[in-house]
Chains A and B, each alone.
Chain A
Amino acid sequence: MLEYRVEIALWAISGIIPFFMLNIWTNNNLNESINISDIMLSRYFLCAFFVRQFSVVWVVFSFEEDSLMGKVSPYLIQPLNPFFRYFAQHLAEQITRFPFALIIAFFFFIFNPESIWIPNLGILLLSIVSTFLSFLIQFLIQSIVACLCFWIEKASSIERLLFIPTLFLSGLLAPVVSFPAYVKSWIYLTPFPYLIDFPANLLSGNETNISGGLSMQILWIFLLLPLFKKIWSEGTKKYTAMGS
């Protein structure tokens, strides 16, 4: 069991990009240009870390391997879409990550005691909902990409292309507010800022349009869900049950 615990701990630690970005921002006083205080910025990146921990998705890699090795075959003839299994796996791992994320937050506050804050209950609940919606959006996007396995086998290559806009436009490297106005207007039409930026701003107490953000998250889920269903239905007709 030790190796599993270490693996989960490493997974949790691997998501510390926001802390590196915080360091770059504060050391170069970049936050002054966007009128965010040091404290609010550090809270933002801590929240970005938390949102990332509980919304990260790897279904494309799991499904690609299972599909190419024929492991998905027994699940395809059960009266449950195999993606529910991956969904449950993700949720289970998120729960196991929680204690590790708390430990990292504890150390963060030791080094940044001025950043300690307690969000009010309403905001905390909305942030949890928003993080879960962010997870759903990412899960749907990756599931759609994963279904491309039925045609091109290496769907994870497409996912790597998607990783670039996710990294830059989601708010993981910089709050979306720091982008030029004309770029921002375009970014907010994509699903990316609703993955990290919106829930992180909500939780950290930065100014954000709560109803607008949640509505956009729900809208993206409603757009992606039928697309997933369609591509799944077409893709399974192409399934050749390789490796079995």
Chain B
Amino acid sequence: MGQNIIDVKNLSKSFDISSKEPGLKGTIKHFFRRQTKSLKVIKDISFEIKEGEIVGFLGANGAGKTTILKMLCGLIYPSEGSILVSGHLPFRRKENFLKNITLIMGQKQQLIWDLPPIESFYLNASIYDLDKFEAKKRIKKLSEMLEIDEELFIPVRKLSLGQRMKSELLAALIHEPNILFLDEPTLGLDINAQRNLRKFLQKYNKETNATICLTSHYMKDITSLCKRVICVHEGAISYDGKLNLLLKRLSPVKEILIVCRSEKDATKLESSGFTVKNKIKNEITIKIENNSITSSLKTILNNFDIEDLFINEPPIDEIIGKVLIKKDYDI
């Protein structure tokens, strides 16, 4: 892993929000005396991201993940603190900085709706000062990676969501940025399209050593792409570290279903000191702590007549769900 490419220190962002009571009375009151309040949506956060890293931002709706991404790519101005991305202050939006980054928002598109995607690709190529030959080469390469071909020549409005998303990615990557900000890139895609997109991002990261910052509510996106996650809770960072450590921390025990040769063996196992969740005839489910799983299984296999054995991983969505509602995770 290379040096730091993103450096965030004591970053905060506040928005002025106005509120209105319902009904005619509320409307009149709002017209003459508009009440606004300042809402701090990002609270004094600091983190660093290394070149080539893929980092997932996790958090509930409104936690502040997208706002962080928007500040990192220079779309919105921070209220306090500092951000350095690839040595640039993002908000200045200098040409050298903008040519190095891209932002893809699952629910927003940059393709020209009434024209085929190829037209948008060539337009973007001109914006990023690519000559026609180079643009053609990159379009060919990326379309092969994304497995799109005929779709390039069909008006965007006639494409399926998956085809459109692939085209969006191509448009956003034609200038070969080395930092990708992805805000829910798989939103609304079917399982196959999601998997293909993840495969593409992995390949892109591997081939170009691009840094990827990603938000997603699909846990599969996070688990298959990100080794590191930053959990955001009410605008503050509640966890920043390895995903597997977080999972171990949140789920310290595993459930093991053991099928014994006889009910007698199951009863013997039940009284041998393990934490038993339930027992039905010759099947018994026990809970074992992650750090003693090897030794415990060894003991069981040596001392009991076992027919079969299943280790149940707790559902990842359930574990991550805990992150979204809890404030601090000390690892």
Q: Which residues of A approach B to under 8 Å, CB–CB?
A: 4, 70-71, 73-80, 236-241, 244
B75 CB within 8 Å of chain A: yes
Shortest CB-to-CB span from A152 to chain B, Å, is 12
Decide if B15 touches A240 in the complex (CB within 8 Å).
Answer: yes
Shortest CB-to-CB span from A108 to chain B, Å, is 32
Shortest CB-to-CB span from A234 to chain B, Å, is 11
Pick the most buried of A4, A77, A244: most chain B CB atoms within 10 A of its CB. A77
Decide if A77 touches B76 in the complex (CB within 8 Å).
Answer: no
Shortest CB-to-CB span from B131 to chain A, Å, is 16
Decide if A73 touches B75 in the complex (CB within 8 Å).
Answer: yes
Shortest CB-to-CB span from B183 to chain A, Å, is 8
Q: Give the complex CA separation of A70 and B107 in angstroms.
A: 10
Decide if B73 touches A77 in the complex (CB within 8 Å).
Answer: yes
Residues on the B chain within 8 Å of A70, using CB: 108
**Which chain B residue lies CB-closest to A89?**
B112
Q: Given A237-B91, A240-B76, A241-B75, are A77 and B98 also a contact pair (CB < 8 Å)?
A: yes
Contact residue among B66, B93, B110 (Cβ-Cβ distance under 8 Å from A74): B110
Shortest CB-to-CB span from A77 to chain B, Å, is 5
Residues on the B chain within 8 Å of A76, using CB: 74-75, 93
Interface string of B236-265 (1 = CB under 8 A from A): 000000000000000000000000000000
Pick the most buried of A71, A74, A76, A236: most chain B CB atoms within 10 A of its CB. A74
Contact residue among A4, A80, A244 (Cβ-Cβ distance under 8 Å from B105): A244
Decide if B108 touches A78 in the complex (CB within 8 Å).
Answer: no
Residues on the B chain within 8 Å of A239, using CB: 75-77
Q: Give the complex CA separation of A43 and B120 in angstroms.
A: 42
Shortest CB-to-CB span from B157 to chain A, Å, is 12
9 A-B pairs within 8 Å (CB atoms) are namely A74-B105, A74-B110, A76-B74, A76-B93, A77-B73, A79-B127, A80-B127, A237-B77, A241-B75
Q: How many residues of B contact A (CB 8 A)?
A: 26
B70 CB within 8 Å of chain A: yes
Decide if B95 touches A77 in the complex (CB within 8 Å).
Answer: no
Shortest CB-to-CB span from A7 to chain B, Å, is 12
3 shortest A-B CB distances, which residue pairs?
Answer: A74-B110, A79-B98, A79-B95
**Which chain B residue lies CB-closest to A237?**
B77
Interface string of B79-115 (1 = CB under 8 A from A): 0000000000001010100110111010111100010
Residues on the A chain within 8 Å of B204, using CB: none
Residues on the B chain within 8 Å of A74, using CB: 103, 105, 108-110, 172
Q: Give the complex CA separation of A122 and B101 in angstroms.
A: 48
Q: Given A73-B105, A74-B105, A74-B110, are A79 and B128 also a contact pair (CB < 8 Å)?
A: yes
Q: Give the complex CA separation of A121 and B172 in angstroms.
A: 46
Interface string of B109-144 (1 = CB under 8 A from A): 110001000000000100110000000000000000
Residues on the A chain within 8 Å of B103, using CB: 73-74, 77
Q: Give the complex CA separation of A202 and B74 in angstroms.
A: 47
Contact residues, B150-190 vs A (CB, 8 A) = 172
Decide if A79 touches B99 in the complex (CB within 8 Å).
Answer: yes
Q: Give the complex CA separation of A213 and B88 in angstroms.
A: 45
**Which chain A residue lies CB-closest to B128?**
A79
Decide if B73 touches A244 in the complex (CB within 8 Å).
Answer: no
Residues on the A chain within 8 Å of B95, using CB: 79
Q: Give the complex CA separation of A73 and B114 in angstroms.
A: 19
**Which chain A residue lies CB-closest to B96?**
A79
Q: Given A244-B105, A244-B108, are A77 and B127 also a contact pair (CB < 8 Å)?
A: no
Decide if B75 touches A78 in the complex (CB within 8 Å).
Answer: no
Decide if A73 touches B108 in the complex (CB within 8 Å).
Answer: yes
Residues on the B chain within 8 Å of A241, using CB: 70, 75-76
Q: Give the complex CA separation of A77 and B73 in angstroms.
A: 7
Shortest CB-to-CB span from A42 to chain B, Å, is 38
Q: Give the complex CA separation of A239 and B107 in angstroms.
A: 19
Decide if B110 touches A75 in the complex (CB within 8 Å).
Answer: yes
Interface string of B49-73 (1 = CB under 8 A from A): 0000000000000000010001001
